[in-house]
Amino acid sequence: MIFAFFQNFWLEFLSPFIAIYGLLRLLNSNREIFFWTGFFIGILWFYWVSFSLIYFGFAYAIPLEILFFGFAYGIFFRICGHFKNLILRSVLLIGLAFFHPFSFNWLNLELILMPGIFEPDLRGISAVFAGICAFYYFKKFKILWIFVCLIFALQISQKNANFLPFEISLVTTEISQDEIWNKNNAILNVRENLHLIDEMIFKNKKVIVFPESAFAFYLNNENYLSEILKKKSEQITIIAGAEAYENGKIYNSAYVFDGGEMKRYDKFILVPFGEEIPFPDFAANFINELFFDGAPDFAKAKKISTYRLFDQNITSAICYEATRPEIYQNNPKFVIAISNNAWFIPSTEPFLQKTLIKYYATKSGATVYHAANFSNSEIITPKKMWIKEFLKKVKF
**Domain positions in the chain:** 2-153, 168-268+303-391
Give whole-number Cα distances, 367 to 160, 238, 273, 286, 380, in Å.
Answer: 9, 19, 29, 41, 6
Instruction: State the DSSP H helix or E strand holding residue 151, giving kind and residue range, or none if neither.
Output: helix 142-151
CATH of domain 168-268+303-391: 3.60.110.10
Interval 229-250 mean pLDDT: 97
Interval 271-296 mean pLDDT: 79
Decide: 155 and 130 in contact? Cβ < 8 Å: no
Decide: 243 and 252 in contact? Cβ < 8 Å: yes
Give the tens place of pLDDT for each residue, 326-344: 999 999 999 999 999 999 9
Coil, helix or strand at residue 352: helix
Whole-model pTM? 0.95
Interval 376-393 mean pLDDT: 89
Give the tens place of pLDDT for each residue, 131-177: 999 999 998 999 999 999 999 999 999 999 999 999 999 999 999 99
How distant is the alpha carbon of residue 22 from its chain centre?
Answer: 24
pLDDT of 269 > 80? The answer is yes
pLDDT of 286 > 90? The answer is no
Give the chain's mean pLDDT: 93
- Residue 365 has phi, psi (to 5 degrees) of 85, 10
pLDDT of 287 > 90? The answer is no
pLDDT of 302 > 60? The answer is yes
pLDDT of residue 282: 74
pLDDT of residue 150: 96
pLDDT of 56 > 90? The answer is no
Coil, helix or strand at residue 338: strand
Active site residues: 212, 267, 319
pLDDT of 3 > 60? The answer is no
pLDDT of residue 6: 63
pLDDT of residue 20: 96
| DSSP state at residue 343 | G
Return the beta strands (E) in 75-183 as ranges: 168-170
pLDDT of 396 > 60? The answer is no
Beta-carbon contacts of 278 under 8 Å, excluding residues fewer than 6 positions away, are 102, 103, 272, 284
Give the count of beta carbons closer than 10 Å to the beta carbon of residue 371: 26
pLDDT band, residue 389 (cuts 50/70/90):
confident
Give the C-alpha separation, 167 to 146, whole Å. 47
Give the C-alpha separation, 204 to 211, whole Å. 20
